[in-house]
Structure 1
């Protein structure tokens, strides 16, 4: 209550009144406008519109800081709410393996298994770096119960701005995540590796250092982001290189403090000087150089000093093997349509015309003998060629692990992969010099349906076959959940991805290819997120399980991997989900023919229902006029534009998944997370077949996970907020379609699960959601109040527009517990 704000003394006293007015008012069917106006009348003596909007801005600022405080409290509580022996921890897996006599099987699986978390710059997190640092310190102060520190940090929070004056650049986004690499993941992954090594290792079993890997998209992902250029990519690679060397330099100080013995000390001092020169004088150093010095030190330590503190040196060596000189692997990603444009332009320039099929174009360019000069072209063509040209430079600086794949969004044909291969050839690379995996990303319903044909043709293509052999006959395939969900609805998207994985697993095995699936999972279920451990643990033996690889973004970085305890716990959950899947038999993971047929039936019915909703003439206008969609771009949280395409008319396909899903979340309707799912089950119930759905829920972990994730989405909805729309002449009928489907889905899922309330099986998450929803309820009232004023064209529209934008921040930050 005592946050130090300029010109505001009693916000902490007033806020509970607005909260109460909102709660009672919505249940009585009042509109947000009525609630806010009554609050002004009953609890303030403000007269002018300007005074009222000023108070609302102050309340927003206050609530934002309440959210930060609750984040910090929840983070600080994490170790008390989870134990070392929880399901899904390394300790739990070890105990299980002893009981079931499966220890050797686990060691066998760990030999070539890996988990990779890829950090993206997708902007679903609104805290500027300065606030993130306070959050970090506040959590520590709460953990140690330091009242003085907490008070000081809250005061700092009160005076620290939450809003970026300008959009962050891709470099800003990269540096923001590099902060986490240095101060969270360097230690977390190092400690976890040591823990697994001591738990499962023995004289015969050596744990490979690539077990837990990090990937990095900020600065490399140019899909839809014109601000990511070849220069930016190079600079981010350099920042990653510099960050890991600094982490080693600091770590080495601790090691040297203990290893002060003759001979050892000299070697480590030399290494310290070499690292310093590499960081500040740009002198070249490789991971092999560092390891050579550490081996030298180890030899002296063992032979002359009784191996004293050897574990310190070995742990440090392990980290150098894990992180190399790259820290995290920087990926390049671009849209296939941009690639086609580049190929067309280069082909026309070389041949003087563009009369050829797309297949003829890439085939001819692959055979080219002389290098194309990027400076002969302009804009995106030049930049694409420069990006490809500098890959070998980045690999020399950061090692081959520093950059080794090129991801193609919107892949739906063989040409999309072969075009990228052609880029390397026209940039002067010989076949054996292309040390890159080319990764198609299948994300739309059409792309997923095409995936089998595309990969089959690729596996048969002699040029690509040769390339794959050089890459160890391993193919990574990315599957995009968020665009899939936007395109096909929740159940259909998840089923199509599951099916695509099965088909591609079988196809790859037939061709002698080891396939790795890379999942583009978002935060909330509506973007393909939800409980990640449950998702991976539910995949049966028909899906390749060579590696778990997924994207983590926005608030999921801070909420799931934001501090050491959480990061360690969640890395363990992913690792054990993958290992246990192969080692411990569970019939509920494998779908029977009957279960499969039923899921297909449900998915098709739900897809039709969702497609009808998308085709509704009010679908896009409703989002445009009644939600916060138009305001996402004004928040300055990400460097990327909030929609594709340059036209002023808004088309469904131009909508990015984040603003699309986020706008439904701000309305508290979360439509993509459930729409059509309940309807499909109701159809079967009306046919007298609900027992079949019950059997499916009990018998299939995959289906059960989807139901529980969808219920999480519904637990975060609050339709009373928008009751007022049901009487709107333009949108009333459309709102009722949404509301009816929500009620139907909620009732039928409760009936299916036997729960009395949503998320009954996860009391911790349910409690967190409820507290957060209570904190942001007044914020939602303010946002809807401002939107209503704008819709009516009343008062100072600019001020109301700013209120809508400002209220986005707290709402999004508060919904962090979504994955």
Structure 2
């Protein structure tokens, strides 16, 4: 059977379909203006030709009105721009749905990186036993975070799902109905969601996607790789941040955490009940049917009321299902036994918790809470803490904290809300473990972790408040900035040599989870340095952990785009080599990356399999990935040069003013997409770089189509070698190191999504012209040198279908970007006037905010 190349499959199944359905869509009348669908292609053409001629967005918009709509008054023109935004947002949805529908055709579901391919390769190379042994200890954990970078409300996500199905079936009448529904459904949220709402919208993916895809993957491994009917390592599991991530989000209360844990438990019980309901129709045999009906009834009541008298424990549920299975094997010719196995497997994967709820808080908050608690204990003559505790050295404080036992502490005595909530959250972890099982909540992440004291303060606080005898919680430090990454190994050594902490690790299987933040790392140190800094930190942390017989589990805080550690994630993991611990792959999946990479059963299964096989291929193909001493030297030098370049750029006097006044940064706070504030501290009116969240930071560069965090400094670093006549050293590194190659390919994606013609008008700006030119020159230099290094004629030449997808998406939003820049320019002009027209300002600000949605959604992973 011949298979068409991927690009051909993309053109046939995505591009052609989009053109057909878009033409139907454009003829639908929305609201009062029936001509919008006719005028939008004309506006698109005007934008395209205008930028080719070197016109700026203002000229393009004015040319369009003069040429095609000269009789419109100002108000009517503004109305039309809003209609264009409305149409384009929906074109993006259409393209999403078509791409989702074509996913299993465009991507080879049995090709390289899939489990079937992994199994066949292992058999061909006589390595099946190696594969079995490896899968017995390997794990992939994807952690769904509470950082929404997507602007679709739940109602629109529902339409995308239905539209995807209708497109798969080529059901024209259903597609037309859904188009009409799309036209009438609002795309923006009038109010910020609560953390509980965020949790509910992600639980939708657990119920409708992950429950099935995780089950399928595990069943396949069980039946095809092991084929022995025994219970094996679960391999894949899922973490969950909404409701537990308190870092910078004052709206996540302890009650929210409990409420989310209960919702997770109810959701998984409901899935088990539905499976039993389906089984009941098949298991109609004597001695079996009644037992299945009884279980089904118990789970039905339990999923509605967690306090029901008719509850069943997890242990009892599994025992009863195994007993039913044995009976079917013995007396009913194993009829439908695989269906029972599938349910037992899912219970093995999800227990009564569905997803592990992580708790996260900033070390600075912990420090202030802890200080208050210590003062309270000293006042109450605690035996553990001497009166002069606060004057002691860090070393002496750590010694005291190591020896702390449970103290009698009255949480209600603390009137400070932050102190009260932090202590109540620790109590909540204990409660969740009692109801959902230990895996319901057993990890506490300390963001902005800088010292061993940060870890020991939490370690002691967990014991004091709730875990007196046995601490069943893993404390996971998160290292984010370049300095913190460099200090991480010595911090961990302090902990490993602490007898109390070492004893705690022994009780947890001698495993230590260490989280590393790509997003803030990039914001802090630039693209190359962040990735290389994390690579080096992982090497040193692996060496340090192995020295003390500890297995380091690296948990990567990644965003969607390359600028935040995203891009081709599975390629990244398969490129790490032998010097980095790889028994588990753990990473955050957030915002649009959830819906774009894991939003359908096909994409979820495919991308999970790719992650599993990336870890395996890193292990099995170890020899070829190790970096030589010379290559490391070059890599380090490139990272240092790019870091210095990025640092100089960041300290440019125009850096903050440019983001504040020329980008969409301040409009992120007005979008109501997420429950948490857009910056960490809300005390100051001015913009403080360290308070800035990575999402609005990266997103703002993306809206400008400049994507600075994904490439800035790379060109300068490569040019240094070109100027010195040593470019061959970089070529050697590129040839030898899969890690470096993956980094550069991800950077190419950032460059492909850049479009400097959009903001070329800024180069003539008195105030910001020089600054714009710095960015543009680095872009030109990076693009030229990446093409020279790879030998490509064009960016992303090795990924033609990915490139084609980006091109269509960029083309769809070209008019939207033009409108946004036009509105930003108008705001700048109106702001300079002595008497400000507040009404006009409000309208143009609304245009900027509304056009944010479509631009972000079209990129699918731009923040």
TM interval, short-chain normalised: over 0.9
Q: Which moved more, 1:761-770 or 1:393-402?
A: 393-402
- CA positional deviation for 1:348: 1.8
Q: Does the CA contact (< 8 Å) of 2:137 and 2:233 recur in 1? A: no
Q: Does the CA contact (< 8 Å) of 2:577 and 2:622 recur in 1? A: no
Q: Which of 430, 455, 462 is matched with 1:417 structurally?
A: 455
The answer on 1:665 being equivalent to 2:702 is yes
- Structure 2: how far apart are the matches of 1:404 and 1:514? 18
Q: Which of 53, 60, 74 is matched with 1:28 structurally?
A: 53
The answer on 1:105 being equivalent to 2:141 is no
The answer on 1:217 being equivalent to 2:253 is no
Structure 1 residues 271, 367: closer, same or farther in 2, change over 3 A?
A: same
The answer on 1:308 being equivalent to 2:335 is yes
Give the equivalent residue in structure 1 for 2:177.
152
- CA positional deviation for 1:208: 2.2
- Structure 2: how far apart are the matches of 1:613 and 1:818? 21
Give the equivalent residue in structure 2 for 1:317.
344
The answer on 1:387 being equivalent to 2:422 is no
Q: Which of 290, 294, 300 is matched with 1:266 structurally?
A: 290
Q: Does the CA contact (< 8 Å) of 1:358 and 1:415 recur in 2? A: no
Structure 1 residues 46, 201: closer, same or farther in 2, change over 3 A?
A: farther
Q: Does the CA contact (< 8 Å) of 1:287 and 1:321 recur in 2? A: no
Give the equivalent residue in structure 2 for 1:404.
442
Give the equivalent residue in structure 2 for 1:714.
751
- Structure 1: how far apart are the matches of 2:406 and 2:199? 37
- CA positional deviation for 1:363: 5.1
Mapping for residues 33-182 of structure 1, pairs under 5 Å: 33-182=58-207
Deviations 1:282-315 (A, max 9, x none): 2343321211220121122122212111111111
Give the equivalent residue in structure 1 for 2:859.
815
- CA positional deviation for 1:361: 5.1
Give the equivalent residue in structure 1 for 2:826.
789
Normalising to structure 2: TM-score of the pair? Answer: 0.93
Give the equivalent residue in structure 2 for 1:232.
256
Secondary structure in 2 aligned to 1:406? strand
Structure 1 residues 358, 483: closer, same or farther in 2, change over 3 A?
A: farther
The answer on 1:616 being equivalent to 2:616 is no
- CA positional deviation for 1:251: 1.1
Give the equivalent residue in structure 1 for 2:33.
8
Structure 1 residues 335, 3: closer, same or farther in 2, change over 3 A?
A: farther
Give the equivalent residue in structure 2 for 1:277.
301
Q: Does the CA contact (< 8 Å) of 1:644 and 1:656 recur in 2? A: yes
Unaligned runs of 5+ in 1: none
Deviations 1:268-287 (A, max 9, x none): 11111111221123234332
- CA positional deviation for 1:349: 2.1
Secondary structure in 2 aligned to 1:331? strand
Deviations 1:54-73 (A, max 9, x none): 11111101100000000000
Give the equivalent residue in structure 2 for 1:335.
362
Deviations 1:305-333 (A, max 9, x none): 12111111111111111110111100000
- Structure 1: how far apart are the matches of 2:393 and 2:451? 11
Give the equivalent residue in structure 1 for 2:670.
634
Deviations 1:627-652 (A, max 9, x none): 00000010000001001112101011
Give the equivalent residue in structure 2 for 1:356.
391
Q: Does the CA contact (< 8 Å) of 2:409 and 2:465 recur in 1? A: yes
Secondary structure in 2 aligned to 1:258? coil
- Structure 1: how far apart are the matches of 2:274 and 2:195? 27
Mapping for residues 575-590 of structure 1, pairs under 5 Å: 575-587=612-624, 589-590=625-626
Structure 1 residues 364, 382: closer, same or farther in 2, change over 3 A?
A: farther
- Structure 1: how far apart are the matches of 2:705 and 2:426? 43
Give the equivalent residue in structure 1 for 2:384.
none
- Structure 2: how far apart are the matches of 1:369 and 1:184? 42
Q: Does the CA contact (< 8 Å) of 1:84 and 1:92 recur in 2? A: no
Q: Which of 731, 735, 740 is matched with 2:768 structurally?
A: 731
- CA positional deviation for 1:585: 4.3
Give the equivalent residue in structure 1 for 2:4.
none
- Structure 1: how far apart are the matches of 2:51 and 2:693? 31
- CA positional deviation for 1:379: 0.7
Q: Does the CA contact (< 8 Å) of 1:209 and 1:321 recur in 2? A: no
Q: Which moved more, 1:542-551 or 1:275-284?
A: 275-284
Q: Which of 18, 26, 33 is matched with 2:43 structurally?
A: 18
Structure 1 residues 690, 340: closer, same or farther in 2, change over 3 A?
A: same
The answer on 1:436 being equivalent to 2:473 is yes
- CA positional deviation for 1:462: 1.3
- Structure 2: how far apart are the matches of 1:704 and 1:217? 32
Secondary structure in 2 aligned to 1:515? strand
- Structure 1: how far apart are the matches of 2:177 and 2:469? 60
The answer on 1:651 being equivalent to 2:688 is yes
Q: Does the CA contact (< 8 Å) of 2:29 and 2:37 recur in 1? A: no
- Structure 2: how far apart are the matches of 1:683 and 1:351? 59
- Structure 2: how far apart are the matches of 1:59 and 1:157? 14
- Structure 2: how far apart are the matches of 1:355 and 1:767? 60
Q: Does the CA contact (< 8 Å) of 1:126 and 1:637 recur in 2? A: yes
Secondary structure in 1 aligned to 2:391? coil
- CA positional deviation for 1:163: 0.7
Q: Does the CA contact (< 8 Å) of 1:102 and 1:583 recur in 2? A: no
Give the equivalent residue in structure 2 for 1:528.
565
- CA positional deviation for 1:92: 1.1
Give the equivalent residue in structure 1 for 2:22.
none
Q: Does the CA contact (< 8 Å) of 1:240 and 1:326 recur in 2? A: yes
- Structure 2: how far apart are the matches of 1:502 and 1:487? 21
Q: Does the CA contact (< 8 Å) of 1:431 and 1:467 recur in 2? A: no
- CA positional deviation for 1:750: 0.4
Normalising to structure 1: TM-score of the pair? Answer: 0.98
Mapping for residues 558-569 of structure 1, pairs under 5 Å: 558-569=595-606
The answer on 1:518 being equivalent to 2:555 is yes
Q: Does the CA contact (< 8 Å) of 2:480 and 2:521 recur in 1? A: yes
Q: Which moved more, 1:449-458 or 1:17-26?
A: 17-26
The answer on 1:245 being equivalent to 2:281 is no
Q: Which of 295, 299, 306 is matched with 2:322 structurally?
A: 295
- Structure 2: how far apart are the matches of 1:734 and 1:579? 45
- CA positional deviation for 1:622: 0.2
Give the equivalent residue in structure 2 for 1:592.
628
Give the equivalent residue in structure 1 for 2:607.
570
Q: Does the CA contact (< 8 Å) of 2:113 and 2:613 recur in 1? A: yes
- Structure 2: how far apart are the matches of 1:379 and 1:356? 26
- CA positional deviation for 1:81: 0.8
Structure 1 residues 256, 710: closer, same or farther in 2, change over 3 A?
A: same
- Structure 2: how far apart are the matches of 1:808 and 1:286? 48
Report runs of 4+ in structure 1 exceeding 6 Å deviation: none
Secondary structure in 2 aligned to 1:165? coil
